[in-house]
Amino acid sequence: MKKFIYPLAIAVLGLAACQSETTRVKDFIPGKYVNEAQSEYSVANDTLIIEPAKNTESIYAITRNTGYRRITEGKLQGLQHQVKHWTGEWDDQKQTMQVIQTGKVLFFNPEKGTLLNGNSEYRKL
C-alpha cells in the first residue's frame, strides 16, 4: 500500500503545479498589448485589447486597432486606421488561444509580459 501512496502523491502535486500554471497564464491574458513595426514600406502601431467574454471561461473578445502610414518614394503618407473584432478560444491543455476568424494562435508569456502573434511580439501595458 505504501508503494502506491508515493507515486500518487507525486501525481497529485504534478497536477496541482499544472493547474497553477494554467491559472497564472489565464490571469495574465486580459489587458492591452502593443506592437510597433517599421519596414521600408510602412510604419505601423498595433494594439490588441483582450477581454473575457461573458458567461464563459474559455472565450475572449479581441479588438485589434491598427494605425499605419505607408512610405512612398521615401515620404510618409497619411495615417490609415483599421479596427477588427475577433473571438479567441483558450485551450487549457495547449496553453494557447486560437483566433476563430483567422486561425492564428496566440502565445502568452507572463514572465516576459508579452504575447506572441505569429512573428509579432506584443508587450502588455
Average pLDDT of adjacent 10-residue blocks, the chain of 125 residues = 51 49 87 96 97 92 97 94 97 95 96 95 97
pLDDT at 21: 65
Instruction: Check: CB of residue 80 under 8 Å from CB of residue 67.
Output: yes
Global confidence as pTM: 0.79
Amino acid at 109: N
d(CA 50, CA 63): 7
What's the confidence (pLDDT) of residue 15? 47
pLDDT for 65 equals: 98
Which residue range forms the structural domain that includes residue 71?
A: 2-124
pLDDT of residue 54: 87
Find the farthest-apart pair of alpha carbons in the chain and give their distance in angstroms, rounded.
78
**CA-CA-CA-CA torsion for 113, 120, 96, 16, nearest 10 degrees?**
-30
Confidence (pLDDT) at 23: 81
Q: d(Cα 93, Cα 91) in Å, to the nearest integer?
A: 6
Number of domains the chain contains: 1
Place of cell 516576459: 112
